[in-house]
């Protein structure tokens, strides 16, 4: 069993789908959020920690802290969340092994174009996703566990 049960990109981080679907699917009670901005935002961080069920352990790290935690923990089957593919790319560069990444929700924004359903990416994010795939990581789209997974290569191309 791997340390990371599910690595997911979702700019909403913790929400109904994560709590009800993905945690049960992975069989985890442990969420690790890696996000530099959130780590520095005490107010938002406290809201996330207070609003999460007491039966779920949530930890929030910046990238360096997340890398250190993952390298040193004995815990298994963690649900690893990040808002952006850039976070996972930087973690991979720092030696964290991630075999596959679930590309969840990324909302439309001024510099983003629609990729698939509720996923919009910028040109920079597109290039980062391609770099991650070149590192041998399987990236797939699967909004909820009940849906069939779709390879990012079929939507994005290489």
**Digit-coded pLDDT (tens) for 17-45:** 777 789 999 999 999 999 999 999 999 99
CATH number at residue 147: 3.40.35.10
Average pLDDT, the chain: 92
The pLDDT > 90 percentage for the chain reads 70
What does the alpha-carbon distance between residue 12 and residue 17 come to, in Å, rounded to a whole number?
A: 10
**What average pLDDT score do residues 53-75 get?**
95
DSSP label at residue 18: I
Which residue range(s) make up the domain with 44?
Answer: 4-156
Alpha helices in the chain (DSSP H): 16, 23-26, 36-40, 42-51, 63-72, 85-93, 123-134, 152-156
- Number of domain units in the chain: 1
Q: Which pTM value belongs to this model? A: 0.92
Closest CA to 105 of 125, 121, 119: 119
């Amino acid at each position: 069993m791997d340390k990371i049960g599910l690595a997911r990109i979702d700019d909403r981080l913790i929400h109904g789908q994560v709590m009800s679907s993905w945690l049960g699917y992975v069989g985890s009670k442990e969420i690790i959020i890696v996000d530099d901005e959130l780590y520095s935002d005490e107010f938002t961080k406290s809201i996330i920690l207070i609003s999460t069920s007491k039966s779920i352990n949530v930890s929030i790290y910046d990238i360096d802290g997340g890398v250190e935690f993952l390298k040193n923990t004995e815990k298994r089957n963690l649900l690893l969340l990040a808002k952006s593919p850039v976070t996972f790319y930087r973690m991979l560069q720092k030696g964290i092994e991630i075999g596959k990444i679930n590309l969840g929700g990324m909302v439309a924004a001024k510099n983003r174009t629609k990729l698939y359903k509720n996923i919009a990416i910028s040109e920079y994010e597109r290039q980062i996703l391609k770099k991650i795939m070149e590192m041998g990581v399987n990236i797939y789209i699967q909004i909820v566990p009940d849906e069939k997974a779709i390879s990012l290569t079929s939507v994005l191309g290489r």
